[in-house]
Structure 1
Amino acid sequence: MQHHFTKSVFILGIAMLFWHCSEDDELPQTIDQDSLNTLIEEERIQENAPAIAAVIVKDGQVVWENFFGFKTLNTTERPDENTVFILASVSKTVVAVAVMQLVEQGLLDLDEDVNTYIPFALRNPNFPNTPITARMLLTHTSSLSWPTNAEDPNFNNTFESANAPGIYPWLRDYLTPNNPNFQPNSWQNNAPGTSYQYSNIGAAVLGYLVQSISGMDFNSYCVEHIFAPLQMHNSAFKIADLSPTTDFASLYFEGQLIPQYSAPHYPAFALRSTTADMANFMIAMLNEGAFGEVRVLQAITVQQMFTIKVPDKKVGFIWTVLSGKWMGHIGEYWGVSSSMDIHREKNLGVFIVSNDSHIESIYPEGKIYRYIHKYAEQFVD
């Protein structure tokens, strides 16, 4: 079954968001644990967020976590560290790790034409002689569009999770001419490599590159090579790969309950995870790719991923500077608002998620984001 949520024009993923705070909107001078909890709960109620879950990691361990509101609005059951939320564009940080694993294994050249690795010709029809590379896709400079609802009203259509089409052949049909589902508005009139445009379809192409090169379904690849090594036992891009007893937070859009869903461009948005699992992911990224005795990336590869490639957008390989030296990603889609970022110098990480859309307080310049990040500073030596 296909779902159409048409109450408003919706944004799949968010590269950066900005809010203007009034001069009197200052943080308290000090925030202790009790006041933090009170401040977050006040904001949750103010924004009508069903649930908010958040965690702080420092020096390889969880130093604070808490859960607010309710997994489902008609119950009093609160979320916990094993409650699964959909993460929207925070998912893209995992896509970047998967791609960089293949790079360091010598299976993917960042500057090679992606057509070397996939079974169809991916070229911007406006610039058919200009190759597209994985580096361009990782830096949102491939000349692929967002696409927004204006560019394609059907791009954000979703499906019941079990019925969503796979990445391929949908991707081929969507991006290449002479196919019935070809969407020319997915391509900008800018040559690949010449301009920045945040692109969800670009993230789907990266997921398909991983799938094509590895010979594994993208989700299965991530389960085997990222989630299992990092002990992220309640994380997957597809619900079918989670336990039947998985504890899901219900999803809401503008206060209305909506079903769990997926879509063919699922690498861009569909990661399901928990605060416990995302804590492990942040710990590994802060520890230069290592988690305990396991390593998912070499330190030099992590450094490459985080090095800024598009200075005016503060973008590395997918990972983006959100505030100061905090680097990560934010996301929003049907039934989710999310934020995940790490401060490598201070060895701190923060993950915040809600099970409704448009919960602006958890984004940079939002109150909950700033409360939690200020509180996190107390853990720095």
Structure 2
Amino acid sequence: MMEKKRKKGRVWKIIGPILGALIIAFATITFIQVDFSNPKDLEKFVQVKMKKSGMTGVSIAIIKDNQINRIINYGDADREKDIPITNDTVFQIASVSKTVTATAVMQLVEKGIIQLDDDINTFLPISIVHPKFPDTPITFRMLLNHTSGIDNNWKLYDSLYTSNSGGGDSTVTLAQFMKDFLVPGGKWYDEEKNFTKNKPGSAFSYSNVGYGLLGYLVEEMTKTPFPEYTQQHIFDPVGMKHTKWLHKDLLSNDVLAVQYDAKHKPLVPYSFPTYPDGTLKTTTTEFAKFYLAIMNGGKAENGTILSQATLDEMFKPQSDNGNQALGWSYSALDSLYLKGVSKGKVIGHNGSDPGVLTITVFNPDNKSGLILFFNQELSLSLKSLNLHSMVKRLVKESGM
């Protein structure tokens, strides 16, 4: 027994110093990469966290007591040209775009043009069915809550980003893409990769293509191009003059934030065929106005975009264990490991794409919210902990 103890002691004498050195090294690395200070001034706090994170830039809108309480900007909209981010900087906001697409669809529900559980094929010139469940119709509700069974086929989906061909808007129309991706005989049709194994309506599976399809459906039902429909029925009523889907529609004086990858390499402005799922371009100020309209029964500065009854239906938990509503998510903070930070239940949407990170949430009960648009993608490193602590404090500052 004494011999075993002595052996353990000798082993610990060897391992102990090594382990201690590793702990000190890890602590040193963490200290170098993570800022643990907490300046009282919020703008200073954001500056130190962003600088330590290595992110290029961010625009933050804090909504408090039912109004835009504060806008905080940090960093460069264009690092090469030394153009700073301002209140007027336009960001491409990735999947947060889906909340606007969902709003457009819910307007058609409100007008009685469609019902949530209608078969989408009733309104299409093509027939879209799940090849494994041809007798189960795909409905608007399924597309909105990500249970349609339509998958993304990521290898193909990523290959159609225009960054692979020089950037700009996609030359593939919504109609062309849906026919070639979802109809047998189409050049991108693949019944194994383009559809999940789940029966439509039975399981949550996040679908970018499904939201592109919703945009196409809006076009077919209204006989109006999707960007034009949303301009007339959402952006104009809310007062979003600089909010556009397509690069070609941006105003001549708009400054679109250059997007940077995790290594700070600038990316060309890009798009993809299913743009209603993720290419909305807007400012934090204008998107905050959209959020305020949603939080106030659809009432905006130039009209009403949805009724409170429709919004109530839109916010009902639908799938993903109650986390997914119709276009909105109740797990936006949970996915950032910030569960329990807010005072009440918050709803919102996050987005991530090459050169893009967006976080948007609000508390409908006390009409507070938070919008963050970054023009750089997040790298998985210790430095990202700076952003975690930054968002955590911003949530608390908003009163959510």
Match of 2:223 among 207, 211, 215: 215
Q: State the match for 1:294 in structure 2.
A: 303
Match of 2:189 among 182, 189, 201: 182
- The answer for unaligned runs of 5 or more in structure 1 is 1-21
Give the letter aligned to residue 134 of structure 2: P
- Deviation of the 1:241 alpha carbon: 1.8
**TM-aligned CA distance change 1:31 to 1:113, over 3 Å:** farther
Q: State the match for 1:46 in structure 2.
A: 52
- Alignment partner of 1:186: what SS? coil
- Deviation of the 1:313 alpha carbon: 4.9
Conserved? CA contact 1:362–1:369, under 8 Å: no
- Deviation of the 1:46 alpha carbon: 2.6
Please state which structure has a larger fraction of its residues in helix: 2
Q: State the match for 1:357 in structure 2.
A: 377
Give the letter aligned to residue 91 of structure 2: F
Number of residue-to-residue matches in the alignment: 351
- Deviation of the 1:178 alpha carbon: 1.3
Q: Distance in 2 between matches of 1:77 and 1:178?
A: 48
**TM-aligned CA distance change 1:163 to 1:319, over 3 Å:** closer
Q: State the match for 1:228 in structure 2.
A: 236
Q: Distance in 2 between matches of 1:307 and 1:108?
A: 18
Q: State the match for 1:366 in structure 2.
A: 388
Output aligned runs, 1:35-114, within 5 Å: 36-114=42-120
Q: State the match for 1:343 in structure 2.
A: 363
Higher RCO (CA < 8 A, seq sep 6+): 1
Q: Distance in 1 between matches of 2:120 and 2:224?
A: 17
Output aligned runs, 1:1-381, within 5 Å: 32=40, 34=41, 36-149=42-155, 154=159, 156=161, 158=163, 160-184=167-191, 185-254=193-262, 255-292=264-301, 294-310=303-319, 312-321=321-330, 322-323=332-333, 325-358=345-378, 366-377=388-399
**TM-aligned CA distance change 1:153 to 1:190, over 3 Å:** same
**TM-aligned CA distance change 1:241 to 1:190, over 3 Å:** same
Q: Distance in 1 between matches of 2:361 and 2:267?
A: 28
Conserved? CA contact 1:147–1:199, under 8 Å: no
Q: Distance in 1 between matches of 2:36 and 2:149?
A: 40
Instruction: Output one character per residue of 1:317-354: Cα deviation in whole Å (capped at 9) or x when no partner.
Output: 01001235121100011221001111111101211011
Q: Distance in 2 between matches of 1:162 and 1:331?
A: 19
- The answer for unaligned runs of 5 or more in structure 2 is 1-29, 334-339
- Deviation of the 1:59 alpha carbon: 3.7
**TM-aligned CA distance change 1:27 to 1:101, over 3 Å:** farther
Q: Distance in 1 between matches of 2:117 and 2:280?
A: 27
**TM-aligned CA distance change 1:68 to 1:152, over 3 Å:** closer
Conserved? CA contact 2:162–2:270, under 8 Å: no
- Alignment partner of 2:216: what SS? helix
Q: Distance in 1 between matches of 2:84 and 2:121?
A: 47
Give the letter aligned to residue 68 of structure 1: Y
Give the letter aligned to residue 240 of structure 1: K
Deviates more, 1:162-171 or 1:283-292: 162-171
- Alignment partner of 2:46: what SS? helix
Q: Distance in 1 between matches of 2:318 and 2:125?
A: 28
**TM-aligned CA distance change 1:152 to 1:68, over 3 Å:** closer
Conserved? CA contact 2:209–2:274, under 8 Å: yes
Give TM-score, length-normalised by structure 2.
0.82
Conserved? CA contact 2:94–2:279, under 8 Å: yes
Instruction: Output one character per residue of 1:104-130: Cα deviation in whole Å (capped at 9) or x when no partner.
Output: 001111111100011100101111111
Conserved? CA contact 2:97–2:276, under 8 Å: yes
Q: Distance in 1 between matches of 2:351 and 2:219?
A: 23
Percent of residue pairs identical = 29
Give TM-score, length-normalised by structure 1.
0.86
Conserved? CA contact 2:136–2:200, under 8 Å: yes
Q: Distance in 2 between matches of 1:306 and 1:366?
A: 26
Q: Distance in 1 between matches of 2:177 and 2:255?
A: 31
Q: State the match for 1:9 in structure 2.
A: none
- Alignment partner of 2:255: what SS? coil
Cα-Cα RMSD = 2.5
Conserved? CA contact 2:177–2:273, under 8 Å: yes
Q: State the match for 2:3 in structure 1.
A: none
**TM-aligned CA distance change 1:343 to 1:258, over 3 Å:** same
Q: Distance in 1 between matches of 2:173 and 2:52?
A: 39
Instruction: Output one character per residue of 1:44-83: Cα deviation in whole Å (capped at 9) or x when no partner.
Output: 2233211110001234421111100111113443211110
Instruction: Output one character per residue of 1:72-104: Cα deviation in whole Å (capped at 9) or x when no partner.
Output: 113443211110000000000001100000000
Q: Distance in 1 between matches of 2:266 and 2:171?
A: 20
Conserved? CA contact 1:353–1:362, under 8 Å: no
Q: State the match for 1:13 in structure 2.
A: none
Conserved? CA contact 1:90–1:269, under 8 Å: yes
Deviates more, 1:129-138 or 1:71-80: 71-80
Q: State the match for 1:8 in structure 2.
A: none
Give the letter aligned to residue 344 of structure 1: P
